[in-house]
Amino acid sequence: MNRRIALRHLALISGGLALIPSCDFSSDDILAAYENLKVTTSQKQLLGAISDSIIPAGELKGALELEVPDFILVMVNDCMTAENQVLFSTGLAAFPAYAKNTVGKKFDQLSSREKEDLIQGGIDLQPAETPEGEKDRAISYFLNTTKKLTMQGYMASEYIQTEIIPYSLIPGPYNGAALISENQKPRING
């Protein structure tokens, strides 16, 4: 190989390497899985933190471990009207600013009790007939919908339906003389 060509390539590579640190590759792209919603990765993580605050992990798995945020986004994307999807997305986008203005910290920096109080305060918001009231209405709708769908997704998850509350499609035979112990798992349908 010619020495001049090798030096030219070396200069181009070193110049390119010098420019890489100044480039910002941390774009927050919109997730393509939800065609009707414009949800970014950071918004999905925020939704996961909110759902995990609603049903935290303890003795049982939490909402985040059961992938409830994916359930919420699928339900909003597939089952809600376009107006409600816009309201949900607006509330999701406005929630970080609401948390910052209300508590003075980002949502992920709060303690679990502060997160619960913030979520409950957002659910109980009474919006006024102002532009700020529309934002409050969107936040309240977002949090109410998130809470409802978190509980629905959690209770319908495979983990709950198979390990915690065994679900049988067809009720078993009737045995009127069976004693029920405290260790026995409840049957939810007979």
The predicted-structure confidence for 73-119, as pLDDT tens digits, reads as follows 999 999 999 999 999 999 999 999 999 999 999 999 999 999 999 99
pLDDT band at residue 179 using 50, 70 and 90 as cut-offs: confident
Domain ranges of the chain: 27-164
Range 55-76 average pLDDT:
94
Given this model, what pLDDT does residue 28 score?
61
pLDDT band at residue 12 using 50, 70 and 90 as cut-offs: confident
Given this model, what pLDDT does residue 25 score?
54
Q: Quick one: three-class SS letters along the chain?
A: CCHHHHHHHHHHHHHHHHHHHHCCCCCCCECCCCCCCCCEHHHHHHHHHHHHHHCCCCCCCCCCCCCHHHHHHHHHHHHCCHHHHHHHHHHHHHHHHHHHHHHCCCHHHCCHHHHHHHHHHHHCCCCCCCHHHHHHHHHHHHHHHHHHHHHHHHHCCHHHHHHHCCCCCCCCCCCCCCCCCCCCCCCCCC
Cβ contacts of 159 within 8 Å, gap of 6 or more: 61, 66
Cβ contacts of 57 within 8 Å, gap of 6 or more: 64, 65
Per-residue pLDDT tens digits for 16-52: 666 666 555 555 666 666 778 888 899 999 999 999 9
Given this model, what pLDDT does residue 95 score?
95
Q: Is the pLDDT of residue 1 over 70?
A: no
